[in-house]
């Protein structure tokens, strides 16, 4: 159980790092784009630099940030309806949460397979982004990897909840 928890925590830190990098990049692109537009307006068009493809960059960085954040917060992000589980033992609640997380394992793996298929297709056809002409295959591959990370973390916590519910009560 402790090995699964350590692996999950390491994957959580990795996912948080990826989400943080993506958010910093997103913020950087947005701040530079807004500053350059403001400078353009202040100079009455004399200074006309802009961030080319800023909407595209922000959208892909947001994709990475959201997928990584979902993977990082698997065990904390579920809404619990107390009306249905109020009288249940904590071990039973942990088992129910573990079974519930199996649905997210399936979701993560289905998304990963679809994005991997899109990456292979984009690589074979040379698909690029609209504005910056960046290859789409690496973008799809990274997104697919983040979905696998989501599925793996959900599987780890489903196993912890379903198999080790009696020991999970004291952990966290």
CA distance 62 to 152: 21
* CA separation, residue 170 to residues 4, 91, 95, 165, 166 (Å): 15, 10, 15, 10, 9
Residue 1's pLDDT is 74
Residue 172's pLDDT is 45
Residue 27's pLDDT is 97
**Tens-place pLDDT, residues 112-122:** 999 999 999 99
Do residues 90 and 169 lie in contact, with contact meaning Cβ atoms separated by under 8 Å?
yes
Joined together, the tokens standing for residue 64 give: 């990475």
Question: Domain residues of the chain, as ranges?
Answer: 2-168
Q: Residue 140: phi, psi to the nearest 5?
A: -65, -35
CA distance 65 to 54: 16
The 3-state DSSP class for residue 52 equals coil
Confidence at 167, pLDDT banded by 50, 70, 90: low
**Tens-place pLDDT, residues 43-92:** 988 888 888 999 999 999 999 999 999 999 987 755 555 666 677 787 77
């Amino acid at each position: 159980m402790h090995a699964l928890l350590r692996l999950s925590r390491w994957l959580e830190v990795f996912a948080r790092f990826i989400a943080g990098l993506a958010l910093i990049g997103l913020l950087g692109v947005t701040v530079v784009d807004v500053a350059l537009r403001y400078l353009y307006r202040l100079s009455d068009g004399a200074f006309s630099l802009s961030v080319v493809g800023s909407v595209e960059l922000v959208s892909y960085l947001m994709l990475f940030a959201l997928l990584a954040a979902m993977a990082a917060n698997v065990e904390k992000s579920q809404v619990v309806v107390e009306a249905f589980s109020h009288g249940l033992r904590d071990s039973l609640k942990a088992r129910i949460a573990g079974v519930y997380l199996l649905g997210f394992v399936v979701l993560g793996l289905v998304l990963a397979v679809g994005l991997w298929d899109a990456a292979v297709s984009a690589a074979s056809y040379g698909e690029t982004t609209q504005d910056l002409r960046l290859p789409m295959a690496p973008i799809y591959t990274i997104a697919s990897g983040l979905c696998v990370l989501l599925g793996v973390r959900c599987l780890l916590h489903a196993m912890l909840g379903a198999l080790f519910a009696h020991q999970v009560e004291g952990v966290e």
